[in-house]
Amino acid sequence: MFDYTNIEDYHHQLFSGEYTCLQAVVHYIQQIRDAKNLNAFVHVYEVECLTRAEELDRKRKGGAPIGKLHGVVIAIKDVICYKDHPVTAASAILEGFHSLYNSTAVQKLLDEEAIIIGSTNCDEFAMGSTNENSSYGVVLNAVDNTRVPGGSSGGSAVAVQARLCMISLGSDTGGSVRQPADFCGIVGFKPSYGSISRHGLIAYASSFDQIGIFANNIQDVAATFAVISGQDEYDSTVRRQTPQQMNIKDVVTKKYRIAYFSNAIDHASLDPEIKEATTQLISELKEEGHYVKGIEFDLLDYIVPVYYVLTTAEASSNLSRYDGVRFGKREVTEQDLTKFYTATRSKGFGKEVKRRLLLGTFVLSAGYHDAYFTKAQQVRTLICQKTENIFKDFDAILIPTVPVKAFKLGDLENDPITGYLADIYTVYANLAGIPGISVPLFKHRDGLPFGVQIMSNKYNELTLLELANELLITYRQPHFNV
């Protein structure tokens, strides 16, 4: 029976002859079939994965050098382009569309001999917190099928949670990797804005979007990040410097300076059990010799409105290209051009996407642009400045990932505002452009997992991953096994 722990052990098993890449792929294909009810995958590339696995096995046995991700089975969110494969952003408006090129992240994975097993379900155009806004249907949480997995990268999260692949990629615009990781009890990592190229990532809000990584351990996150990060000629926002070397050790003796937002811990929206666990963790970190201090972040209650003003405005612009003229769904009509656009977009977009496009168009409209969009940009600048000042004195910020446990299916159907407000702790990292990670440490009394979120200064992913690894080793609840 194939059993996966991490990339390093897997590579040892390949070279020892205990397993082959082909055996790994066959195992995951069967796992995906057995877990079909979870609806995590929208496309599975069975034939080509089996062929690629056989090729990699022959190469390895022939003595040729292997790639850093040799034989690692990876799933990608249905917003990341993979040449000659479907990419639809879980939207009817892109039904049947196949990518013409590889995203930079996918190309780097392939260059290091990873195996892309399929694309995963998500909220349409990455807009949502539950993975219920998809033209492919709802994704179910593997821990409790009556609960959502979180969104928008819910399919990618469940693929790792249910052991349907080794690692998966998602995208994080306001928490879409960290929030589903929290709900599913796995590691969810969003790097700094500009650490990973966005070339080939279908845009939601371009100044917020970032590809992120799901895994069951920090070492796999670090190894994947080291491969897909770095400069790219196709994305001018990517950092030019060489990425940090990632060598995450199991034993860390460093003592960290950690801040936590007092008003986040005391916020009325925070579930009492999540508050209790986070408060206890803070006490234990202090006892272990870390410098941990509560600070007030006085812009906390402005974070969600600023985020939704700016992201919907950017979405209004980005999604204007889906008009039925150049690609994607086309609603045939003999009426004039405006009615053709209206018919195509009305039938192609789902309810949540329409809601956000209308909001974004409104905040950009004449008479409201300065009152909403310009003001939100000013507040974002203040948030970035305050964040820079915090990291002059601290190595990391620690707060809950999400204020509540996983929603029940259908809970937000008639109450989208509750879902928006639940983003209060995750959108901060996207506004400031800093890296964040959700670390699975706890279980609710009803058995649902939840974690804690750590953030570090921009481009300081190494410190973030080292601290996250220490928390997993030292503070994860006993017998925590999703």
Helix (H, G, I), strand (E, B) or coil at 463: helix
* C-alpha to C-alpha distance for 430 and 353, rounded to whole angstroms: 20
Distance (Å, whole) CA 233 – CA 240: 10
Question: From the DSSP assignment, how many helices (H) and strands (E) are in the chain?
Answer: 16, 11
Annotated catalytic residue 176: yes
Do 436 and 429 meet the contact criterion of CB atoms below 8 Å apart? Answer: yes
Pairing label, strands 41-44, 115-120: antiparallel
State the DSSP string of 311-378: HHHHHHHHGGG-SSSSSS-----SS-HHHHHHHHHHHHS-HHHHHHHHHHHHHTSTTTIIIIIIHHHH
Contact by Cβ (8 Å): 167, 465: no
How would you label 26-45 residue by residue, b for 16+ Cβ within 10 Å and e otherwise?
A: bbbbebbeebeebbbbbbbb
- Taking alpha carbons only, the member of 457, 452, 465 closest to residue 386 is 457
CA-to-CA distance for 313 and 311, rounded, in angstroms?
Answer: 5
Q: Are 373 and 311 contacting, i.e. CB atoms less than 8 angstroms apart?
A: no
Q: How far apart are CA 439 and CA 454, in angstroms?
A: 8
Residue indicated by tokens 């039925």: 324
Look at strands 396-400 and 257-261 and give their pairing: parallel
Catalytic residue among 153, 171, 176, 316: 176
d(CA 315, CA 91): 14
Question: In which element (H, E) is residue 59 found?
Answer: helix 46-61
Verify whether residue 152 is a known catalytic residue. yes
Residue 127, classed as helix, strand or coil, is coil
Torsion of CA 231, 236, 237, 238, to 10 degrees: 0
Half-sphere exposure of 433 (CA within 13 A, CB side): 18
User: In the block, which residue shows the tokens 């399929």?
Assistant: 118
Q: Which secondary-structure segment (H or E) carries 440? A: strand 436-443
Helix (H) or strand (E) holding 260: strand 257-261
Q: Is 432 exposed, middle or buried (0-12, 13-18, 19+ CB in 10 A)?
A: buried
Pick from 295, 125, 102: nearest CA to 209: 125
- From the candidates 103, 152, 156, 197, which is the catalytic residue? 152
Catalytic residues: 77, 152, 176
